[in-house]
Amino acid sequence: MADRVLITTDDLEHAVRINAHLETAGFHTTLVSSFDDVRRAVGGAGGVEGSDTAPGLDCIVLTGGLHESSAAQLLRIAHDRSISTLGLMEPTEPDPKEAARRLGLTAFLVKAADPAEVTATVRRLIERRRLQARTGILGESPAIQEVLVKIEQMAPVSATVLIEGESGTGKELVARALHDLSPRRAKPFIAVNCAAIPETLLESELFGHEKGAFTGAAERRLGRFELAEGGTIFLDEVGEMPPATQVKLLRVLEDRSFFRVGGAQAIKVDVRVIAATNKSLKEEVALGRFRDDLFYRLNVLHITLAPLRERKVDIPLLVRRFIAEFAALHERPFRGITPEALQILVDADWPGNVRQLRNLVESMVVLAPEGEIRASDIPRDIRERGRGLPVRVTGATRDVAGRELEFIFRSLVELKLQVEELRRRLDDRAPQRVEVIEVGPGSGIVPVQPIEAEPASEAEVVYRAGMTMADVERAAIEAALRQTKGNRREAAEVLGIGERTLYRKLKEYALA
């Protein structure tokens, strides 16, 4: 069935030329003379739901009248019905990009644009909208549009992809989209949360084990990589993977083979690896918590998901879509949300991102007494502070000393590089002539008494030239143990690492 496009005739000359070109390109077009006709076509307020034009309507081309009072309502209706809108802006518009954003247009062109360019833009908008419907990745912000472009580019190939973004931004949704649009779509998609599986079991979960490999291994068990043969394996929270398992994952990425736990035969596997993390793996590499060679293997292709607070323009679309979804799921007649309530949600910070917004909308759809979300239906902590959860903090930022240690860990990487560069520059310089000046009675020069350095506090880590990162890490651990009077559990919390990781480091540095 041909894609259906509505064209307004506010600028009749441009409308006729665009209509002819779109028809030649295979689109089914309809010319409409007013915004009321468009509203009737899309089944909006004052229109007829289910009219013969509404089914399958894909795009509206607005040739003028964009600043009329009725245009905003029309654009909102089209937005709610996932119909793309392309506006032709006047050449005299001082800032067409900002005007298009303010009006809520999906895209814009200046009226001097060639009809062929209009046709190409319409086709791209329709394809992008269908991609959103297929993947469930919603949004009109530049950040989301960039992600959709990358998905289109990356899906057909088998290269490894690293997805970075805060918790709740939709990393698994992107991974599934990459799989569903790839040639591997008919094969399995296996998701593994590396943070949810105990360190002692993760290797067996990923690579399987042979019978008798360890106590309780009563039979051979296939791992997730074997189960994903021919398809895609999604390694969520890969930054939490222990070092020993990182080495084995590196082998899989390099050789496409692995050994089961307790096995002696290499197993070949054809699997695409997509990894995700809510941390910065570059920082984890710099801090020695993640292997640099594994990072480079994972980071062949890269997608970054912006937090919801940085793409607030998408919140109204998400809210209305979630309302429709949960009203249908719970079989509740629901009118929608008031402008005041919607503005409160737009202004909120959303530390839990889209996941938090989705869960809140579901609760309000179930509990709103009058079938409409009002400002009073929004929880008080969202209304008053704009956030539904406290800001997430790590163990290393729970108290003042912990924050200092975290700062030291992150900044000493840069400091070490700067010191090494300074030493290199000093070595390159020619030796300077030193003039010896006698100091003593009769010389007229009073010797300056040396200032004794204040002793370092027990929670302080002092960097000295020539120290390696291992030296710095050891010193930080010793400082944390002194601060907590040898309590290893509290020391691990201060350092922001797991207790098992601390025990491993103690053995590594012979501090146990």
Where among 86, 101, 135 does a domain terminate?
135
Lowest mean pLDDT among 199-208, 301-310, 431-440, 489-498: 431-440
Residues 295, 159, single domain; the answer is: yes
Residue 168: Cβ within 10 Å count: 20
Q: Which residue has the higher pLDDT, 230 or 413?
A: 230
In a domain, 205, yes or no: yes
Rounded to whole angstroms, the Cα distance separating 57 from 330 reads 28
Q: Within a domain: residue 243?
A: yes
Name the token pair of 330. Answer: 């719970």
Answer whether residue 402 is part of any domain.
Answer: yes
Strand 161-165 to 232-236 pairing:
unpaired
* Mean pLDDT confidence for 43-51: 40
Q: Please indicate, yes or no, whether residues 9 and 97 belong to a single structural domain of this protein.
A: yes
Residue 445 lies in a domain: no
**Using the 8-state DSSP alphabet, how is residue 455 labeled?**
P
Beta bridge pairs of residue 59: 5, 84
Q: Answer whether 0.85 is exceeded by the pTM.
A: no
Per the model's pLDDT, the better-predicted residue between 61 and 449 turns out to be 61
User: For position 351, which CATH number holds?
Assistant: 1.10.8.60
**Average per-residue pLDDT for the chain:** 82
The total number of structural domains in the chain stands at 4
Q: Are 253 and 158 contained in the same domain?
A: yes
**Strand residue runs (E) in 456-495:** none
Q: Is residue 443 part of a domain?
A: no
CATH number of the CATH domain containing 88:
3.40.50.2300
pLDDT value of position 106: 87
* Confidence class for position 47, pLDDT limits 50, 70, 90: very low
- Position of tokens 């050789």? 255
What pLDDT shows up at residue 427? 56
Q: What percentage of the chain reaches a pLDDT higher than 90?
A: 46
Distance, in Å, from the CA atom of 28 to the CA atom of 76, rounded to the nearest integer, reads: 23
Other Cβ atoms closer than 10 A to 329: 11
Contact at 8 Å (CB) between 111 and 88?
yes
CB 197 within 8 Å of CB 239: no
- Helix, strand, coil in percent for the chain, rounding step 5: 50, 10, 40
Domain residues for the domain of 149 are 145-305
Q: Which of 91, 84, 94 is nearest to 111 (CA)?
A: 91
d(C-alpha 161, C-alpha 152), whole Å: 13
| Each residue's pLDDT tens digit, 463-485 | 666 677 777 788 888 888 888 88
Indicate the helix (H) or strand (E) that contains 112.
none
Residue 21's contacts (CB-CB under 8 Å, 6 or more residues apart) are 115, 116, 118, 119
Residue at 467 is within a domain? yes
Flag whether 429 is in a domain: no
Residues 6 or more apart whose CB falls under 8 angstroms from that of 39 comprise 45, 46, 47, 73, 74, 77
* DSSP 8-state secondary structure symbol assigned to residue 309: G
